[in-house]
Amino acid sequence: EAGVAQSPRYKIIEKRQSVAFWCNPISGHATLYWYQQILGQGPKLLIQFQNNGVVDDSQLPKDRFSAERLKGVDSTLKIQPAKLEDSAVYLCASSSRAEGTDTQYFGPGTRLTVL
Amino acid sequence: AQSVTQLDSQVPVFEEAPVELRCNYSSSVSVYLFWYVQYPNQGLQLLLKYLSGSTLVESINGFEAEFNKSQTSFHFRKPSVHISDTAEYFCAVSPLSGTYKYIFGTGTRLKVLA
């Protein structure tokens, strides 16, 4: 079974530029998550989708971050404009309630550096 | 609301020695508990999870963790570590209902010394 795929793996941009990350979850997983992991910290949930609907986006900085999950499969996370403090690893995860729990499976992440 | 505390930010240990990584949590509702490992430049990999039943959960790789409800802890142990176990370890909790949102601790960096 293929895992969670993310691209790109690394991205370097100047502040005030825009950037987008892509995630393809495990096939059949209805729930998709985006996390921000700042160096030295644990992952922090940015947004959670159930199919193509948003379940929780309470910690998403909506003035600059946006995310969508069209057709309930792939998802993109966008930052516009980027700030220095957005430098972090952005992790995508997916889960399936069919397993009887909500174990989350993570992709390799995208490391963003904002200069 | 839930919170997770991993008191040890770094744990150095010699190869083949035992190790315990501590995790304490706070929650007003019952939770699932997880341990994940993160190797450099990689995502998080699930090591162990406690959902219900026996309070001691074990993996085929020799890891184990014990859920202690009275102490609200889920400490991770391995009787003999290898150089390859060097990584960042994260404890996480998730409520049994609702959005199943994960709350992660700040992580413990395990460094195994030769």
Beta strands in B6-107 (DSSP E): 10-14, 19-21, 24-27, 31-38, 44-50, 56-58, 64-68, 73-78, 87-95, 103-104
- Where residue A41 sits, what CATH number does that domain have? 2.60.40.10
Name the 3-class secondary structure at A95. strand
- A35 falls within a domain: yes
CB of A12 within 8 Å of a chain B CB? The answer is no
pLDDT tens, A59-71? Answer: 999 999 999 998 8
Chain B, nearest residue to A47 by Cα:
B101
- Give how many domains chain A has, as a whole number: 1
Residue A36 belongs to what domain range? 5-96
The residue ranges of every structural domain in chain B are 2-113
Q: What is the pLDDT of residue A100?
A: 54
Binary contact (A42, B42; C-beta < 8 A): no
Residue A31 lies in a domain: yes
What integer is the mean pLDDT of A37-52? 91
DSSP A18: -
Q: In terms of CA atoms, which chain B residue is nearest residue A10? A: B41
Give A44's contacts in chain B (Cβ within 8 Å): 104
How confident is the model at residue B112, as a pLDDT? 96
Evaluate whether residue A106 is within a structural domain: no
Please indicate, yes or no, if residue A25 is contained in any of the structural domains. yes
Least confident of A20-34, A97-111, B40-54, B61-75: A97-111
Q: Is residue A18 part of a domain?
A: yes
The CATH code of the domain at B2-113 is: 2.60.40.10
Mean pLDDT of all residues in B38-58: 88
Confidence of residue A1 (pLDDT cuts 50, 70, 90): low
Question: From CA A68, how far away is CA A66, in angstroms rounded?
Answer: 7
Question: Which of A6, A42, A108 is opposite residue B104, by nearest beta carbon?
Answer: A42
**Vertex B61 angle, CA B69 and B67, to 5°:** 0
